[in-house]
Chains A and B, each alone.
Chain A
Amino acid sequence: GAVVSQHPSWVICKSGTSVKIECRSLDFQATTMFWYRQFPKQSLMLMATSNEGSKATYEQGVEKDKFLINHASLTLSTLTVTSAHPEDSSFYICSATRSRLASSYEQYFGPGTRLTVT
């Protein structure tokens, strides 16, 4: 199989605090991980692409200083939402692939993390 886990599955935090979300590929080595954000009843919005050992590539409009991404190993990527605000409340989903090229692989998604900022 190709299993991706996320932790935590849901988190509530106070405005101004930081939250870290972990994404792990459990049974394969992921050269590339993607972080998405999904608002209710909408499709996935790509936030950033993370390759092991290098800096993440952020999509236009995504603040790199606010959404810190670290891909320190082939099985773990983390997303830290710094100084969270209520508008950061959303469903965050990661995915992992075995290849750096989207055209030659299929993405395997984690179960998502529901973040609520109060």
Chain B
Amino acid sequence: TQLLEQSPQFLSIQEGENLTVYCNSSSVFSSLQWYRQEPGEGPVLLVTVVTGGEVKKLKRLTFQFGDARKDSSLHITAAQPGDTGLYLCAGPNTGGFKTIFGAGTRLFVKA
């Protein structure tokens, strides 16, 4: 069974701090996606990483896909209260007919 494990589960930091969220698996994924979800809303796609070792930047967010395509990380620089939310990593299962989601990392950035 393919699983995606996210850590930490919960993170509370002060505005301006940096943080890294991890998404790990023992399985190889053809791609991984990162979503952010705010309370009472659906997840919003942030990025898709496809190539092992790939690094993508989205303003203050940096996403990395592991060389073996079994893990990914999300690094936020100088976090802001607007970054508060649930961060989910996800990837297609073997055969690609459905998406597997991690349990999520709940981030709270205090002003």
Which residues of chain A have a CB within 8 Å of any CB of chain B? Answer: 4, 6, 34, 41-44, 46, 49, 91, 93, 95, 100-104, 106-112, 114
Residues in A with CB closer than 8 Å to B40 are 91, 112, 114
Q: Is the CB of A103 within 8 A of B41?
A: no
State which of B41, B97, B99 has its C-beta within 8 Å of the C-beta of A107.
B99
Residues in A with CB closer than 8 Å to B102 are 43
Q: Considering the chains assembled together, what is the distance between the CA atoms of A114 and B41 in angstroms?
A: 10
**How distant is B57 from chain A, measured CB to nearest CB, in Å?**
18
Instruction: Give the 10 A-B CB pairs with smallest separation, nearest first.
Output: A103-B96, A109-B42, A102-B92, A103-B92, A101-B96, A102-B96, A43-B103, A43-B104, A103-B30, A112-B42
Q: Considering the chains assembled together, what is the distance between the CA atoms of A110 and B40 in angstroms?
A: 11
Residue of A nearest to B45 (CB): A106
- Known interface pairs A42-B103, A112-B40; A101-B45 also in contact (CB < 8 Å): no
Residue of A nearest to B103 (CB): A43
Residue of B nearest to A95 (CB): B42
Q: Is the CB of B42 within 8 A of A49?
A: no
State which of B88, B93, B96, B98 has its C-beta within 8 Å of the C-beta of A104.
B96
Q: Is the CB of B92 within 8 A of A108?
A: no
Residues in A with CB closer than 8 Å to B45 are 106-109
